[in-house]
Every structure is written in structure tokens, then in C-alpha cells.
Amino acid sequence: MISGFFLTNGQNSKGVNRFKELRNTPSTHIVYTDDNLILSNTVDRDALGDKICNPLVSENKKLIVHFSGTIYNRKEYIQKYDLPLKPDSSSGDADLILALYLTFGENLLTHLDGTFSFLIYDKNEEKLLLCRDHFGVEPLYYFEAPDFFVFSSTIAGILRLTGQSKNLHHPALAKILLFNYNVGFDTLVEGIKRLPPAHFLKIHGGQPLLKRYWSIDFTPVSRPEETVCQELLQHLRRAVGSCLSGTDQSGVFLSGGMDSSTMLALSAEHEPTSLDTFSYRCKAASFDESQYARQMAEFAGSHHHESEYSSNDVLLMPEVVKAMNEPFSDVGINIATYLLGREAAATGTGLILTGDGGDELFAGHPVYEADKIARYIDTIPRFLLGPLFSLFRQLPDSDQKKNLSVKLKRFSESMSYPRELLSHRWRIYYDAASLLQLAGENLTDAVNWNNLLEDILLINEKTSSFDPLARSLASDYQTVVDFYLRRNDLIRRFNIDIRYPMFDRKLVEYCASLPSSLKIKGWFDTKYIFKKTMEPVLPHSIIYRKDKLGHSIPLKNWIRDDNRVREMILDHVSGETISRRGLFKTSTIAEMTNDHLRKKSNHSHRLWTLAVMEMWLRHHFD
């Protein structure tokens, strides 16, 4: 964890007084201080485990580096730039950051590969740099006041340093309702922002400047298919090897899908001893795909651990939210990540690889297929389709995961959203009217439909030069990827280092240059070039399986059929609780609950998000 307080104006009494107060408070846990800067190392075990990051001060005392994360291939940097460093360092990679800053200045970021958030304080130039990795694996938040600036790996860390009161930022809350995570960089706590991935923030002369240092170019480059397969496999092997370098006991979160199976197969090529693999099993009909994980573990010779995921595990969620900087809600990701992390920690595994990022590399998510269908349907006059979509929206829900009526119902609902949202139109859980109907008196002013979509629409506008699939992928890298990476927050408490080879910068750049026709061949042959590339490495039954479920859990059925799950969720959205907050209308939630229990509609995502929000507020706000 990195954390600090920086005075930008020593004349203002408010900032100076708070600075002095912190310096005289033992609980600040100061690890460095001078006339303008305090660096703190308060450990937040719920969010970060026992991780401690001590700052590094240069020999002349003029440069300070506070670093969290891992720079991949440290030895290669030392050799390439002839740096006077040891292959291993007790300061982590802070000494490498310092050496590269002395060599390249602010341009050091163009040379880095890894996951990181760090601060560089240059006393000679009186400037402070805050930097975050390319995809936002490492968290970093900040708060700006007229006379001081505060930053931390956690929101709680900022609140401790500022001493400010907690006020909910209602527009961020509305975005979480709409998308199940907070799109944009204003957090749920008023005044606190997230530093965007691939950006650095420079404070010089008291003025902050936010600047992007890297972006993905989706301009296609034509190559023979055979060449692509060879080059892609080389990139995948290098990415996996970089994540494993210098590690001890390693493991893989294994679902049995293409992405995680690739991570396992390529990791096994690097590791001389048997890897540990971890998966979960949900025994509910049409939701269990654990046999593929077992098959792949046997193929690779890993030591496989399978955790049972039952309805009873949903009751763990009040504990899980303790690690969330902000609430995000996907019951498959929320609980499953906790279960897998707990199991991995019990085995002594210190590093985990995951297959997250494969869908964005190769267009593997069903939303990209839906995009393709919608581009043709959008050309049909709406007055012709309206009656048909209205009929589909009235279809009842089903207990099954992959059910035609469920797909038609969801597709017809999402077609009413602006096409300019690209793949995000399939990830919205309310329309403008239903969101406004939910909003209580304290939230109504924040529920402005156009404002809530603005962050995504602005991002999408900047992708207009790419083809339709590339536009969706470029948008997702800047939005929903952050949602998937937040599972990292849930793992840190177990003192496990989780790494994502599919978010390797060079691999992402290479795959972005592949024509979209190699990602989705024809209509629905998704991940086409990935599957061709992995044919010599993975079993045919893993590559060409048709029943991939993702992180699907039968929450909708458990709410209806399991008293414990239903009571826990309803307790967090009870009339008394909702009335006390003043954020939502009790009548709307009651109607939503009744419609779900009667199978008129599937409102499990909505109810789960509302319950998770209340759990988060109870722990972090009350």
C-alpha cells in the first residue's frame, strides 16, 4: 500500500494544520516526511492483507519513490540499460523505478511492463508524480484540495489522511445500479477520484496535470494466418513466462475454458514442478462446468483443488465487501473469487495466474456476437420490430441458464438502449424510466440518464476510426476491464499475488493489430485465431467446447428456492433499511421482489446489487 499527504500551498492554515496534526499522530504510521510530504504505511488488512511498501530515498536525498506492484523481467531491464542494480532487491522494484527515472525522466513509463502504482517525489524540481499501470491492476486513489493533495491505494487510506467526513457521491451510486460497477473515475465517496489506468498525475507548482502515457491502437495489420498463429503463441508464452519469473509456489485459477486452460498449459511449460490449480463447482443443473477443469488439470498434471460453491456460500458476502474499495456486484465473481483465494492461501500458494483478459483479446464474450446481430437489426425500421420486441419482453423467466426465451427477453430489452453504447447496451440493468422509478428522494437528482451514460459515450466517440468490433473492444479496455480486475481487491487479503498474462502490454498491442475477421470468423466463430493457435497445445475438447458459462451462478433460483439466501438479501433491502437511507423507493423494490419470486422477471442482478450496496455502506460508511 502506498499512501501520502502532499502540501501544495504552505501558506494556507487548513492544509498546514492537518499536515502538522498527522505528523504528531502515531496512528499515521509515517515512513517518510519532510517539509511538504508525508508518506504513510497504514496496513488495511481487509483490502490489502499484510502487504507493506516502504519508500526508497536516493543517496542524495533528493528523490523519493513509493512503489506497489511488480515490474516484470527485472533482470532484462538491468542488462538492457546497464543499471547498477542487484537482480533481487529488498525494496521490491522501487530501486528499478528510481534508476529508470534517472535515465529517462517522466518517459520511464513508456519502458515499463508489469502491474504498478507508484509515487516519485523530485525535490530538485519540486514535483510529484503519481503513476498507474496500463490496465489498472494496482489501485490508486487521490483527493485534491486547494492547498494539499492526498493519495492512497485505498479509499479508506485517503479518508484517514484527510480526516474528512464521508459523503456519498450519488451519480457514482446511480452508475453502479445501472452497470453493476462504477463507470468513470469519480468514486462513491464524494471528492475522491481513481487515477485512470495508463495515466500519470503530475503536481508541479501546485497545479495537477493528468496525462495519458499509453493507448491501444486497433489499426489492423494484414499477416498470413499461419504467421499469426506462430507469432501469437510466442507472445502468449512470453507473457506467461514474464508473470512467473522469480516466483515460488505458483497456481492457476482454472475454469476449464480456453483462457484459463491456456494459462495452465503454458505455465506448465515453464514450471519444473507440478502447479496447483483451483476451481469451484456449482452443482445446480445447467450451471456446473467443473468437469472441464478436472479434465484440463489431469491433462497438465496439476495438483487440482475443487471448492464447492453452494447457496450457503452467498452468506459470505458481508465479509467479502470488507475488501471492496467500491461495491461491484457479480455473484459469480464476488463469492467464487473469495472461495478460490481462501483455498489457494490454505495450500501456501503465493502467486496465481488467471485467464482474465482473453475475451477482450479475441472477442470471446457473447456481447460481441450480440453487437453483430444488432448492427443488422438496427437497419430495420423500429415500427416493424416494436410489436415483436414487446412480445419478447413479456416472456417469463426460466430456471435454466441457456434458455431461448431468456435470451430473446434480454436481447429485446437491450435493443431499446442507444446503439452508440456499443457492447455496453447489453450490460445495462435499468432503462431511464425504471431507474427513475427506483430512485428515492436522496437520489432522484443524480438519476439523469444522459449524464450516467456520458463517460462511456465519450470514450466510444474516440474510437470512431476503428471497425465496429474493434470499437467495442477499445471501449471495453477502458471500462468493463476495470470491473473484472476488481477481483484483485478480493484476493489481496490472502497475501496472494494475482497476475494476468492476458493483460500483458505487448500481447494486447499485438492482438489489437489483428483484423477483426480473425477474432470472429463468419457470424459466430468467436476466438477463431486463438483456437487455431492453441490446437497444438490444448485438447480439442477444451478448445471447441460449446457450453462455456463464464462465472454463472443460479442466484435467481436460490433467491426463489433457498430461504437463507432470500432472507439475507431481503434483510438488506427491507422497507426499514431502505427508508432509513432515503436512496430508493420501498414500493419499487417490493414490486421487483414479487415479480422475481413469481418468475415474471429475473431481477436477481438488481436485487443483488442493492443488497451488496447496503452491505458495503454498513461496513464502510456506518
**pLDDT of 284 above 90:** no
pLDDT value of position 231: 98
pLDDT value of position 248: 66
Q: Which residue has the cell 456486484?
A: 329
**pLDDT of 165 above 70:** yes
**C-alpha to C-alpha distance for 615 and 609, rounded to whole angstroms:** 10
**C-alpha to C-alpha distance for 551 and 515, rounded to whole angstroms:** 28
Mean pLDDT in the chain? Answer: 90
**C-alpha to C-alpha distance for 368 and 200, rounded to whole angstroms:** 31
Q: Which residue has the cell 450490460?
A: 427
C-alpha cell at 584: 430508493
For the segment 412-430, the average pLDDT, to the nearest whole number, is 90
pLDDT value of position 374: 87
- Rounded to 5 degrees, φ, ψ at 91 are -95, 15
**pLDDT of 549 above 70:** no
- Rounded to 5 degrees, φ, ψ at 601 are -145, 160
pLDDT value of position 551: 60
pLDDT value of position 74: 87
How does pLDDT run across 70-100, given as a tens digit for each residue? 999 888 899 999 988 887 776 679 999 999 9
> Beta strand pairing status for 497-499 and 351-353?
parallel
- SS3 label, residue 194: strand
Does the predicted model carry a pTM greater than 0.85? Answer: yes
pLDDT value of position 210: 96
Q: At what angle do helices 331-346 and 604-620 cross, to 10 degrees?
A: 60
Cα 362 to chain centroid, rounded? 18
**pLDDT of 285 above 60:** no
The angle formed by the CA atoms of residues 513, 517 and 518, to the nearest 5 degrees, is: 65
- Rounded to 5 degrees, φ, ψ at 206 are 80, 0
The angle formed by the CA atoms of residues 445, 575 and 435, to the nearest 5 degrees, is: 35
402 or 541: which carries more pLDDT confidence?
Answer: 541
Spatial contact of 557 and 284, defined as CB atoms under 8 Å apart: yes
How does pLDDT run across 502-514, given as a tens digit for each residue? 999 999 999 999 9
**pLDDT of 51 above 70:** no
**pLDDT of 286 above 60:** no
Spatial contact of 621 and 475, defined as CB atoms under 8 Å apart: no
How does pLDDT run across 343-399, given as a tens digit for each residue? 999 999 999 999 999 999 999 998 999 999 888 888 888 778 788 778 877 777 776
For the segment 136-147, the average pLDDT, to the nearest whole number, is 94
pLDDT value of position 550: 58
**pLDDT of 135 above 90:** yes
For residue 421, which of 468, 483, 355, 387 has the smallest C-alpha distance? Answer: 468
% pLDDT > 90, the chain: 71
pLDDT value of position 378: 85
The band of 483, judged by pLDDT with boundaries at 50, 70 and 90, is confident
For residue 578, which of 565, 592, 564 has the smallest C-alpha distance? Answer: 592
- In eight-state DSSP terms, residue 298 is H
The 10 Å Cβ neighbour count of residue 509 is 15
pLDDT value of position 91: 66
pLDDT value of position 591: 96
**pLDDT of 313 above 90:** yes
- Specify the range with the lowest mean pLDDT, choosing from 29-43, 317-331, 374-388: 374-388
pLDDT value of position 56: 93
For residue 308, which of 350, 276, 336 has the smallest C-alpha distance? Answer: 336
% pLDDT > 70, the chain: 95
**C-alpha to C-alpha distance for 113 and 242, rounded to whole angstroms:** 9
**pLDDT of 50 above 90:** no
Burial code of 95-126, b = ≥16 C-beta within 10 A, e = fewer?
bbbbbbbeeeebebbeebbbbbbbbbbbbeee
The angle formed by the CA atoms of residues 184, 473 and 269, to the nearest 5 degrees, is: 110
How does pLDDT run across 551-572, given as a tens digit for each residue? 678 899 999 999 999 999 999 9
211: left (phi over 0), alpha (psi -120 to 50) or beta: beta
pLDDT value of position 45: 57
3-state secondary structure 429-465: CCCHHHHHHHECCCCHHHCCHHHHHHHHHHHHHCCCC
405 or 145: which carries more pLDDT confidence?
Answer: 145
**pLDDT of 548 above 70:** no
The band of 48, judged by pLDDT with boundaries at 50, 70 and 90, is low
